[in-house]
Structure 1
Amino acid sequence: MARELRIPRALTALPAPVRWLAAPVALTCTVVVLIGSWSSADDPAVEVPRPSGKAADYCRALGAALPPELLGRTRRDPSPASPYVAAWGDSPRVVLRCGVDRPDELDGDHARDWSPTVDDVTWWSQRLADGGYRFVTTMRAAYVEVTVPAGAAQNPFDPAAALTPAVKANVPG
């Protein structure tokens, strides 16, 4: 025995084309809202530095010279776009920020932390609470920071080392 489908009276009053489109439009709107509301807890917002003067010029030049791929990770800059921020990979992602303030830790107990030098660019390092690392250039006309979350690279220093040629060429020491 087949049951008869009853359509609510409010819908029967609508013209046929509107009734036919109602379900697809509602479904499309729902999908758009869901996709727009998705955000990854592993991909926090990136604070955009605000360098000025020559430092801003150096950082813009560095931003233009950065590679589209870093150690097999595709460049995917955070939104909103900024000439001072670049990122590679998804989650976790490596993030470069140029024109950051001088880290306060350089004056404290961490001032003597491991600071490798690659091709005359010294990177002060700091281990982060999540197991990742933050590397900041020292003795340059603008401070460049590279954050490498745990699991983003086989060796946490590799991204900073790979970015050294671009830093050296665009941010004088």
Structure 2
Amino acid sequence: MAIELRVPRALAALPAPIRWLALPLALTCTVVVLLGSWGSADDQVAAPQPGGKAAGYCRALAAALPRELLGHARKDPSPASPYVAAWDTTPRTVLRCGVDRPEALDGEHAKDWSPTVDDVTWWSQKLTDGGYRFVTTMRAAYVEVTVPAGAAANPFDPAAALTGAVKATIPG
């Protein structure tokens, strides 16, 4: 029993080598388009969902954030959120406003290094990848700045540089 394959007329008029490449080329193009439209996993950041006054403070902070941080352009993740901002460091520095109060503030890490800049205190937590997470304390909304290892010469520099915007928009 022989199987007969029918070639569409549009392809039948083409030389054999081109016909043979048509399907692999179409599949490759489809994969490239799909991968490009999905965005990278690095581009996805969980956006907090603050409520009440905290949401208003976070929107005010979003409007006050700089377009450049320590020489790096702002490159927000998608989908866009007024509660998330990022700068194009390598790896990327991310600010999230309206996060929940870190549970670690009640535990053994409550007394970890917490620098204060211009009356804004940043609780710090060393991450397993060597980076740091800084979270404001004693403010009407919690602001988190994640600085991955290698993103800044001093891991606290990005949080310190954002202190003015935090102080101006989120009351203590």
Q: TM-score range by the shorter chain?
A: 0.7 to 0.9
Q: Secondary structure at the match of 2:82?
A: coil
Q: Are 2:10 and 1:14 aligned?
A: yes
Moved >6 Å (runs of 4+)? 15-20
Q: Secondary structure at the match of 2:110?
A: helix
How far apart, CA to CA, are the structure 2 residues paired with 1:142 and 1:49?
11
1:119 match: 118
Q: Secondary structure at the match of 2:77?
A: coil
Equivalent pairs, count: 162
1:31-70 to structure 2, matched below 5 A, reads 31-36=32-37, 39=40, 43=42, 45-70=44-69
Q: Please say which of residues 157-166 and 82-91 is displaced more in the overlay.
A: 82-91
Q: Please say which of residues 87-96 and 75-84 is displaced more in the overlay.
A: 87-96
Report the alpha carbon displacement of residue 91 of structure 1 after superposing the two structures with TM: 3.8
1:76 touches 1:90 (CA, 8 Å); kept in 2?
no
Change (3 A) 1:38 1:136: closer
Report the alpha carbon displacement of residue 45 of structure 1 after superposing the two structures with TM: 3.1
Runs of 5+ unmatched residues, structure 2: none
Q: Secondary structure at the match of 2:144?
A: strand
- The sequence identity of aligned pairs, in percent, is 70
C-alpha deviations, 1:90-134, integer Å up to 9, x for none? 541000000001100111110100100000100000101110000
Q: Secondary structure at the match of 2:46?
A: coil
How far apart, CA to CA, are the structure 2 residues paired with 1:18 and 1:68?
53
The amino acid that maps onto 1:47 is: A
TM-score, normalized by length of structure 1?
Answer: 0.83
2:74 match: 75
How far apart, CA to CA, are the structure 2 residues paired with 1:101 and 1:9?
61
How far apart, CA to CA, are the structure 1 residues paired with 2:79 and 2:14?
38
C-alpha deviations, 1:68-106, integer Å up to 9, x for none? 111111111111110000011154100000000110011
The amino acid that maps onto 2:7 is: A
Change (3 A) 1:87 1:18: farther
Q: Please say which of residues 124-133 and 89-98 is displaced more in the overlay.
A: 89-98
The amino acid that maps onto 1:67 is: P
Runs of 5+ unmatched residues, structure 1: 1-7
Report the alpha carbon displacement of residue 46 of structure 1 after superposing the two structures with TM: 1.5
